[in-house]
Amino acid sequence: MTQLSVNVNKIALLRNQRDLDIPSVVNLSRVCLAAGAVGITVHPRPDQRHIRPGDVWDLAELTAQAGAEFNIEGNPFSGPSGSYPGFMEIVRRVRPTQCTLVPDNPEQSTSDHGWDVKENTERLGPIVAELQSLGSRVSLFVDPDPSQMSHAAAINADRVELYTEPYARAFTEGRVEEAYAKYAIAAAAASVAGLGLNAGHDLNLRNLAKFVTIPGVLEVSIGHALIAEALEMGLDATVRAYVDILSSDQ
């Protein structure tokens, strides 16, 4: 069964519009876990526009108490900035279950491409080794490019996370079969390379069921669409709807 990790960045983004602790990132993360999510994902950025370091500490405590997965994603080369201690300092303190490395920069509104692992081998290799020494599973955010998989395996990454926004866009535009085939080929290459497979970005209740028929998808991390759907359906019901999709025969 493919597992669900709920990205709670958008909850923090809404909270940050006011100097109040509502909505509560911790309380709503607790709702997600109670509804069947196996974990919580956060992406603490240097500009702290959504998840803040304090949220990371609080969620580390919550997930530890719940026996749930904690996935921290971000750019390992993001250094200290004001009260932001730097990405690697955050994960060194928390030692999350999984660390997903993403090549974003402060100017991006959201992650919009994966690593060129071959070009970044010398930079990423030591980071992967350090994170694994902390006890964290390491996943690299990549485009659906089969050529990247052997390079990810060469630096001993545990998993890759396929960037799925192009799949979601193709689904909406009525050309999903072409995109699906591309992702299936990339997934097969990951399997051949001995990598576990995650996926995320713009997956939703409409397009998820088809995507997870791709063999080997271990985990999906979903935030923006899930929170948007929860505005209509309620958070508990929305998470349960995702879990139902992932629990069905694939």
Residue from 50, 151, 161, 201 carrying the catalytic annotation: 201
Element (H, E) at 35: none
Helix (H) or strand (E) holding 23: none
Active-site residue, from 43, 50, 161, 219 = 43
How far is residue 194's CA from residue 165's CA, in Å, rounded to a whole number?
24
Of 224, 99, 206, 169, residue with least CA distance to 183: 169
**Is 113 assigned a catalytic role?**
no
Tokens of residue 222, six digits: 């979903």
Q: Of the residues 73, 161, 219, 229, which is catalytic?
A: 73
Q: Rounded to 5, what percent of the chain is helix, strand, coil?
A: 45, 15, 40
**224 is an active site residue:** no
Annotated active-site residue 43? The verdict is yes
Angle in degrees, CA 219, 190, 224, rounded to 5: 35
Buried b / exposed e across 162-193, counting CB within 10 Å, b at 16+?
Answer: bbbbbbbebbeeeebeebbebbbebbbbbeeb
Residues acting as catalytic residues:
43, 73, 201
